């Protein structure tokens, strides 16, 4: 989720410190895993937002097209799979940190909507709506590239 081993290690330490400091407030009648997941989610989200504030660069579909032209071989010169991954990664950076985290939990980690809801503390319907809207934004940003490739 954080895309850097060092950043993930720092976040892990922060999670364990937070849990240690607030363990006396933990309700022992509830499962431990969701509490850990929620703490990890919030720490990671805060770190992602911090990185996003430092970058604060937004990309329109036109800027994404320049990335294809300027950053190396065109799709015809490289494999379509590598190009798609690169474009998707660039488009994902334009989503809010929270939306990226929700998509990551849902699709990379393979959590169900209910599990994402439990990990984030959001209602299930909010999770579904935010994921739906994030996917729609990605589809909109990537549409010019998908139509060029014939898919």
For 102-124, what is each residue's pLDDT tens digit?
Answer: 988 888 888 889 988 988 889 99
Q: If pLDDT is split at 50, 70 and 90, which confidence band does 25 have?
A: confident
Write down the pTM of the prediction. Answer: 0.54
Tens digit of pLDDT for each residue in 28-76?
888 888 888 888 888 888 888 776 666 555 555 555 555 555 445 444 5
**30 DSSP 8-state letter:** S
Class of domain 5-148: mainly alpha
Type and span of the H or E element at 118: helix 113-120
pLDDT at 95: 87
Query: Given its phi and psi angles, is residue 75 left (phi above 0), alpha (psi -120 to 50 degrees) or beta?
Result: alpha
User: Could you give the angle at the alpha carbon of 79 between the alpha carbons of 74 and 146, nearest 5°?
Assistant: 70
Instruction: Give Dmax (Cα) for the chain.
Output: 59
Q: How far apart are CA 25 and CA 61, in angstroms?
A: 47
Q: Where in the chain are the domains? A: 5-148
pLDDT at 71: 47
Q: What is the CA radius of gyration of the chain?
A: 18
């Amino acid at each position: 989720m954080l895309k850097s081993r060092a950043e993930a290690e720092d976040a892990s330490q922060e999670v364990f410190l937070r849990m240690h400091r607030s363990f006396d407030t933990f309700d022992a009648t509830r499962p431990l895993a969701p509490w850990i997941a929620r703490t990890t989610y919030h720490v990671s989200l805060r770190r992602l937002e911090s990185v996003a504030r430092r970058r604060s660069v937004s990309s329109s579909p036109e800027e994404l097209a320049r990335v294809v032209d300027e950053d190396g071989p065109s799709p015809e010169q490289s494999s379509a799979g590598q190009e798609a991954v690169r474009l998707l990664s660039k488009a994902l950076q334009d989503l809010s940190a929270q939306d990226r985290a929700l998509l990551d939990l849902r699709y990379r980690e393979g959590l169900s909507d209910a599990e994402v809801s439990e990990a984030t503390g959001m209602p299930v319907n909010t999770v579904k709506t935010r994921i739906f809207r994030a996917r729609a934004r990605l589809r909109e940003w990537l549409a010019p590239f998908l139509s060029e490739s014939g898919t």
